[in-house]
Structure 1
Amino acid sequence: MDDMVAALNGKVAFVTGAASGIGRACARVLAAEGATVAIADIRTDRLHALHDELAETGAKVQIVTLDVTDEQADKAAIQSTVEQFGRLDVLVNCAGYMLLAPVIEADTADWTKMINTNVLGMMYLTHAALPHLIESKGSIVQMSSIAARTVVKTASAYHASKFAVNGFSEGLRQEVTELGVRVIVIEPGTTQTELRDHITHAASKAAIEARVAQYRQLQAEDVAEAVRYAVTAPEHVAVNEILIRPTDQI
């Protein structure tokens, strides 16, 4: 076992949005690096295959049924993980939605869903995990987006949610960095996941599908490799922000 794997031996990670896409890929790389992994998602039926896959490699894995928008459930999930495994070293907040539409045509229920999941869910879990991460001098990974840097029409509410992720995370970083906690913001460009499948505004969905068809997309595994790099860096190294996008994307 090499030094990079050894870096997460005996460590415990909690990953939300683990049923698909980037969350699932992050769970895989953390387990491959030797971490015990709690895989959390509201879609529990989709976690069993991942659990079995990781367990076959010898990893310790715990399935957590979780709606991240429920603050009390978030607290209970973190507490249960710490009670079962004795510690928490890495939190990866991957749960999220991207629901696009022009503001004037938007279903505001989509706004609520994104803010509750992308922002409040991330904040609730960070709050619940923080005492344990301070104790372990651990890492918090916030899955943001290129949408926190550049703005396009039809995505106003999604941009708002990801700008919020970045703002919260930078303020948190300044609070906890001297306590040894690393706050890591990952900003993927267009990635081939299920994220676009949830868009309910037909014209916006068609437009983004046409746009991304013009270039190669990142794969979830590409983003997970950025997470691996950041959380396995030496303890004195804080990789606070990674922007990763397809070579073809302007």
Structure 2
Amino acid sequence: MSKTVIVTGASRGIGRAIAIALSEREDIANFVLLSRTAEGLEETSNMMNPNKNIEYYPLDLTDYHEVKQLIQDVGIRYNTIDMLINVAGYANPKSILETSIDDWEKTYKINVHSLFNITKESVKFMKKTGGKILNVASTAGSSARPGWLAYASSKAALINISQTLSEELSEYGILVYCISPGRCATELRKVLAPDEDPSTIMQPEHVGEVVNQLLSDNGICLDGQNIVVRKQVSNKKELQIKQTT
């Protein structure tokens, strides 16, 4: 099959790792990569399977009209959208007294509102043939994170959005997945924990492989749940996938 996949936040980190992993699959032919950084998107494209049809668009996901037009163009050109991978995120960790209303709104515009917009527009095409949506939340969204209020609460919203849409969109044959990575060596993590050694924590490639498996036929029973992905602290240093309710 010649499936079409859209990946946001694809210029680096987890978004890049997911795009690279999925590009090795035989059932996916077309990739649409989105991010604000053209250079990063080009680098991601060059790291993917060269036999795939790869398009990338540097844009601001909070430009809702531009995103709507792009999704319409993609959906019409390929006749459907089979998978939407929502990875793009923003964080500026501060205490409640240090967080401005502007930064609070920016966090929600990027982490929640833009995801709502691109998901809604994609569902307009997905509902005709079915499809899969995967949202990347965070373990910060399901536990207390003092000093990370805006980011953590936006990820909590994303977990609930995923669970609600899993039931709401089931009538169209659309599966909705949500993963909550633990500590992962991304640029965003550097903002949240600037003193941490990135070599000691989970890498984006680990998350990319988990997503690849979730979006395969083997992941059919894992939709609608918040799936925690973290590196187990042990002698074996295994990657642990924990299902939570």
Match of 1:243 among 214, 223, 228: 228
Question: 1:149 & 1:40 partners in 2: Cα distance?
Answer: 27
CA apart distance, 1:236: 5.3
Relative to its length, the structure with more helix (as a share) is 1
1:4: which partner in 2?
none
Partner-residue secondary structure (3-state), 1:113:
helix
Q: Normalised by the size of structure 1, how large is the TM-score?
A: 0.85
The CA distance in 2 between the partners of 1:100 and 1:18, in whole Å, is 22
Q: Distance in 1 between matches of 2:110 and 2:74?
A: 21
Q: Report the structure, 1 or 2, having the larger strand content.
A: 2
Could you tell me whether the CA contact under 8 Å between 2:24 and 2:49 is conserved in 1? no
State the 1:44 CA deviation: 1.5
1:42 match? 36
SS in 1 for 2:31: strand
- Which secondary structure state, in structure 1, belongs to the residue aligned with residue 113 of structure 2? helix
Identity across matched positions, percent: 27
Q: How many residues align?
A: 231
Between the aligned partners of 2:230 and 2:138, the Cα distance in structure 1 is 10
Deviations 1:37-79 (A, max 9, x none): 10111111221122233352x0110112221112111211211
CA distance in 1, matches of 2:208, 2:219: 19
Give the equivalent residue in structure 1 for 2:137.
144
| Counterparts of residues 16-95 of structure 1 (less than 5 Å) | 16-34=8-26, 35=28, 36-54=30-48, 56=50, 58-95=51-88
Specify the alignment match of 2:153 in structure 1: 160
2:122 alignment partner, one of 86, 109, 129: 129
Q: Is the 8 A contact 1:23 1:95 kept in 2?
A: yes
Gaps (5+ residues) in structure 1?
1-8, 200-204
- Mark the CA change 1:51 to 1:213 in structure 2 (over 3 Å): closer, same or farther: closer
Contact 2:23 2:49 survives alignment (8 Å): no
Relative distance call for 1:108 and 1:90 in structure 2 (3 A) is same
Distance 1:148 1:75 in 2: 27
RMSD between superposed Cα atoms in Å: 2.1
Aligned counterparts of 2:213 and 2:189: Cα–Cα separation in 1: 26
Q: Which amino acid aligns with 1:244?
A: V
- Within a 5 Å distance, the mapping from 1:178-217 to structure 2 comes to 178-197=171-190, 199=191, 208-210=193-195, 212-213=196-197, 216-217=200-201
Q: Does 1:15 align with 2:17?
A: no
TM-score (norm 2): 0.87
Deviation track 1:124-154 (CA, whole Å, cap 9, x = no partner) reads 0110001211222100111100011111210
Unaligned runs of 5+ in 2: 235-245
1:96-107 pair list within 5 angstroms = 96-107=89-100
Cα pair 2:213 2:219 within 8 Å, conserved:
no
Residues 157-207 of structure 1, C-alpha deviations (whole Å, 9 max, x = no match): 11110011111121111111132110000100010011034x4xxxxx5xx
Amino acid at match of 1:112: E
- Misfit runs of 4+, over 4 Å: none
Aligned counterpart, 1:5: none
Aligned residues of 1:91 and 1:129 also touching (Cα < 8 A): yes
Does the 8 A contact of 2:35 with 2:59 survive in 1?
Answer: yes
> Are 1:14 and 1:91, in contact at CA under 8 Å, matched by a contact in 2?
yes
Change in 2 beyond 3 A, CA 1:191/1:234: closer
- The 3-state SS of whatever aligns with 2:223 is coil
Answering whether residue 212 of structure 2 is matched by residue 228 of structure 1, we say yes
